[in-house]
DNA sequence: CGACCTGGTGTTATCGCTAACATCACCGGC
DNA sequence: GCCGGTGATGTTAGCGATAACACCAGGTCG
């Protein structure tokens, strides 16, 4: 009767290498005081047994896990999804596992519950993707002492925060259009309760102010192509509209379509700029000039900020913004004569 | 000098309730042999101390974690992203945390590495979202003994697998078009190395066979709207094309646009059906008739199959397919006279 | 009415690791 | 040539839970 023998433990490695288990532990944790020869023997034994340290045992004695909890909305929007994916990659490379707690709606109760689930797991730290004010409000409920970083959250709160510099991206996009010769730039905005959308409105307005251009009314939409299309139908009817900055690429797609349907050629008659640089943006007709946020950088900074809190308990400068990049394609041209 | 006292442990609860720590353990694990009165005392103590069991300690002694590892491609495609999100929710409700290992490309090496990372974490089981043959191949490297379920993988392999019944969805979509009176149905297909795409081609062909309709050549594309648009440009030029089944909604979007550009009205001149029911599909112009996979059901089945393996070691019937649902909107009509 | 079960509880060993201390050989300096 | 320092290693004691067994009271049964 062969019982499947249990996974090898540190003592098994120690026995094979002819040392004590403590020496194995020292090799594993790169302690300096181990003779080179001994280290090699131990490493050979580890490889031979396909030994892997038991994280539970380590966590038990150190009191720390190698787990990071992320709270994110259960959505497939490009921005948040990319962010999450980038963060998982960054954390993975740093040797941390990521446990994702999805939330249907970003309200206090749901977020608090997700945070509790993570605390139950004794995560080392928590990241909350909190792009709306209701989500940011919910963070007030998180007990102090838990390392916490907010991504895409409210820039006006003192909590540790990493965010794309929405205003700067919008500023550059708008400036790009103004420099092409347009007298002013219209804006199709995302939902007002999203910080991303608010920041982009702000950057757009600043650019117009800087250039002393007239500030047209904001055209409000949500993030969808459908709402961009509706906004576009309106704008297409107004001959004075020659340049439009859209709060994301899907809105821009809707605008492109509306323009094309009314026979206004992009970029000959109207120039359009988006935000996000979704993978399809280069295949729109025409290929879309847009602003690309560096999600990988956001992820790296977030992780850095979190690990700083985990080890030091505190952070020196708890806010980071990541400058996005304008990607110039073919949807921008000088205005018609 | 106040040192922040450590989290309460089981013994603290036991002391407060006036019982042994073992009794606390029994209460926590719902053992039957505990007097009601004792149970209440213990529960009160747990609440008072805000005690939460230490998972590391439990994992150490039981040898099992409450963690499930998922390997998924680092993509933002609607299908895989939805699946992942649904699975995280299902697992969360069953008390499992989900650790996601993202992979850039679905090749043997990357998948093997991701699986190894999960094994290091001693996950209870692993789910691999393996929609292409290269991904399915990589599973050969996974050592036996690790509970493993494949989602969206190769239906022709014997590994435990849960998948949407692509062929059936495609069959119904095609039948829907034939019943509307179309003589035959054209198909714009996803990439050939995706099982999803292959299954949908098969279902489409079966439906045509069943109705003894002519089988036109498959129009090959990838999953993008851009490629759908190119396919659509071709189809729009052919007057005999009155019905098109697209392998996903984005392709359908491209086709819709191409048709509209060439003045062929949908659904009056041409009927179009998609697959996936992306959130925007109802806002396409016209609102798109499509096939909705039940991602939540896939997630539930996957979890069930995995937990069955975890507890029993084996599974009886290791393959499950989930029937999708046709969602009828406004992009289908009888063919023009 | 003593043997035996059984429900409720406590005691002890154990999981696999790290931290802290113990040990021991070897070194240089006065 | 004895002393303290230092580098390499071993020994021991937990971390916080579960499992296995021990124990004890009270009821059942022959």
Q: Which tens digit of pLDDT belongs to each residue from A8-23?
A: 999 999 999 999 999 9
Q: Start-end ranges of CATH 3.40.50.2300 in chain A?
A: 65-163+295-322, 166-293
Average pLDDT over residues B264-291: 92
Q: From the CA of A27, how many Å to the C1' of C29?
A: 34
Give the neighbor-by-neighbor strand order of the sheet with A125-129: A319-322, A161-164, A148-151, A125-129, A67-73, A97-103, B97-103, B67-73, B125-129, B148-151, B161-164, B319-322
Q: Which tens digit of pLDDT belongs to each residue from A217-263?
A: 999 999 988 899 999 999 999 999 999 999 999 999 999 989 998 99
Q: Which tens digit of pLDDT belongs to each residue from B147-190?
A: 999 999 888 888 899 999 999 999 999 999 999 999 999 999 99
Provide the pLDDT for residue A139.
86
Extended beta strands in A104-204, E state: 125-129, 148-151, 161-164, 186-189
Provide the pLDDT for residue A1.
32
Contacts of B248 (CB under 8 A, 6+ apart): B78, B79, B190, B223, B274, B275, B276
pLDDT higher at A329 or A78: A329
* Banded pLDDT at A142 (limits 50, 70, 90): confident
Please give the structure tokens belonging to residue A182. Answer: 């347009």
Provide the pLDDT for residue B45.
95
Average pLDDT over residues B206-230: 95
Provide the pLDDT for residue A77.
83
To the nearest whole angstrom, how far is the Cα of B10 from the nearest Cα of chain A?
14
Q: Start-end ranges of CATH 1.10.260.40 in chain B?
A: 10-53
Q: Start-end ranges of CATH 3.40.50.2300 in chain B?
A: 65-163+295-323, 166-293
pLDDT surpassing 90 at residue A145? no
Average pLDDT over residues B209-233: 95
Q: Are B128 and B102 in contact (CB under 8 A)?
A: no
pLDDT surpassing 90 at residue B143? no
To the nearest whole angstrom, how far is the Cα of B89 from the nearest Cα of chain A?
6
Average pLDDT over residues A167-188: 98
pLDDT surpassing 60 at residue A264? yes
Contacts of B242 (CB under 8 A, 6+ apart): B182, B183, B269, B270, B271, B335, B336
Provide the pLDDT for residue B285.
82
pLDDT surpassing 80 at residue A312? no
Q: Report whether CATH 3.40.50.2300 matches the domain A65-163+295-322.
A: yes
CB contact under 8 A, A285 and B97: no
CA-based nearest residue in chain A for residue B59: A56
> Which residues in chain A are contacts of B120 at CB distance < 8 A?
52, 55
pLDDT higher at B282 or B19: B19
Closest nucleotide to A12: CA versus each C1': C16
Average pLDDT over residues A123-127: 94
CB contact under 8 A, A102 and B92: yes
Provide the pLDDT for residue B181.
97
Would you tell me which residues 276-315 of chain B have a C-beta closer than 8 angstroms to some C-beta of chain A?
Answer: 279-280, 283-285
User: Fold for domain A10-53?
Assistant: 434 Repressor (Amino-terminal Domain) (1.10.260)
Provide the pLDDT for residue B315.
63
Provide the pLDDT for residue A81.
86
- Burial readout A268-293 (b: 16 or more C-beta within 10 A, e: otherwise): ebbbbbbbbbbebbebbbbbbbbbbb
Closest protein residue to C16 using CA and C1' atoms?
A57
Enter the CATH code of domain A166-293.
3.40.50.2300
Average pLDDT over residues B113-122: 90
* Banded pLDDT at A2 (limits 50, 70, 90): very low
The percentage of chain B sitting over the pLDDT mark of 70, rounded to a whole number, equals: 97
A to B CB pairs, distance under 8 Å: 103
Provide the pLDDT for residue A3.
42
CA A153/CA A223 separation, integer angstroms: 17
- Mean pLDDT, chain B, whole residue set: 91
Provide the pLDDT for residue B1.
31
> Which residue of A56, A63, A81 is in closest CB contact with B60?
A56
Is residue B329 less than 8 Å (CB to CB) from chain A?
no
CA B193/CA B251 separation, integer angstroms: 17
Backbone angles phi, psi at B48, to 5 degrees: -60, -40
Helix (H) or strand (E) holding B170: helix B166-179
Whether B54 CB is under 7 Å from strand D: yes
- Burial readout B127-145 (b: 16 or more C-beta within 10 A, e: otherwise): bbbbbbbebbbbbeebeee
CA A164/CA A297 separation, integer angstroms: 9
Is residue A192 less than 8 Å (CB to CB) from chain B?
no
Whether A22 CB is under 7 Å from strand D: yes
Q: Which tens digit of pLDDT belongs to each residue from A56-90?
A: 999 999 999 999 999 998 777 888 888 998 999 89
Q: From the CA of B95, how many Å to the C1' of D5?
A: 54
Total residue length of chain B: 337
Whether A34 CB is under 7 Å from strand D: yes
User: CATH top-level class for B65-163+295-323?
Assistant: alpha beta
Provide the pLDDT for residue A337.
84
pLDDT surpassing 60 at residue B78? yes
Provide the pLDDT for residue B209.
98
Contacts of B217 (CB under 8 A, 6+ apart): none
Interface test with B, best of A91, A102, A276 (most B CBs within 10 A): A102
Q: Which tens digit of pLDDT belongs to each residue from B291-315?
A: 999 999 999 999 999 998 887 766 6
Provide the pLDDT for residue B314.
67
Average pLDDT over residues B203-224: 97
Provide the pLDDT for residue B203.
98
The percentage of chain A sitting over the pLDDT mark of 70, rounded to a whole number, equals: 97
């Amino acid at each position: 009767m062969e019982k499947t023998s249990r996974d090898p433990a540190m003592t098994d490695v120690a026995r094979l290498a002819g040392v004590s288990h403590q020496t194995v532990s020292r090799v594993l944790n790169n302690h300096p005081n181990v003779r080179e020869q001994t280290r090699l023997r131990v490493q050979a034994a580890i490889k031979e047994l396909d030994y892997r340290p038991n994280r539970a045992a380590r966590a038990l004695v150190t009191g720390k896990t190698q787990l990071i909890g992320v709270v994110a909305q259960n959505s497939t929007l490009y921005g948040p999804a990319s962010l999450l994916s980038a963060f998982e990659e960054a954390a993975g490379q740093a040797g941390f596992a990521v446990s994702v707690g999805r939330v249907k709606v970003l309200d206090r109760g749901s977020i608090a519950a997700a945070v509790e689930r993570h605390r139950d797991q004794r995560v080392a730290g928590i990241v909350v993707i909190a792009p709306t004010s209701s989500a940011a409000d919910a963070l007030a409920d998180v007990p102090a002492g838990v390392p916490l970083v907010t991504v895409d959250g409210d820039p006006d709160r003192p909590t540790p925060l990493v965010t794309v510099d929405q205003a700067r991206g919008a500023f550059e996009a708008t400036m790009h259009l103004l420099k092409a010769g347009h007298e002013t730039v219209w804006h199709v905005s995302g939902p007002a309760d999203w910080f991303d959308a608010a920041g982009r409105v702000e950057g757009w307005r600043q650019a117009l102010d800087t250039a002393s251009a007239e500030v047209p009314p904001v055209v409000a939409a949500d993030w969808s192509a459908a709402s961009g299309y509706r906004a576009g139908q309106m704008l297409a009817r107004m001959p004075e509209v020659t340049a439009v900055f859209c709060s994301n690429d899907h809105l821009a797609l809707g605008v492109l379509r509306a323009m094309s349907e009314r026979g206004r050629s992009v970029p000959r008659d109207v120039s359009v700029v988006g935000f996000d640089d979704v993978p399809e943006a280069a295949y729109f007709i025409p290929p879309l000039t847009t602003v690309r946020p560096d999600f990988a950088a956001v992820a790296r900074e977030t992780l850095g900020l979190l690990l700083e809190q985990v080890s030091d308990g505190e952070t020196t400068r708890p806010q980071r913004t990541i400058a996005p990049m304008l990607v110039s394609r073919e949807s921008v041209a000088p205005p018609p004569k």
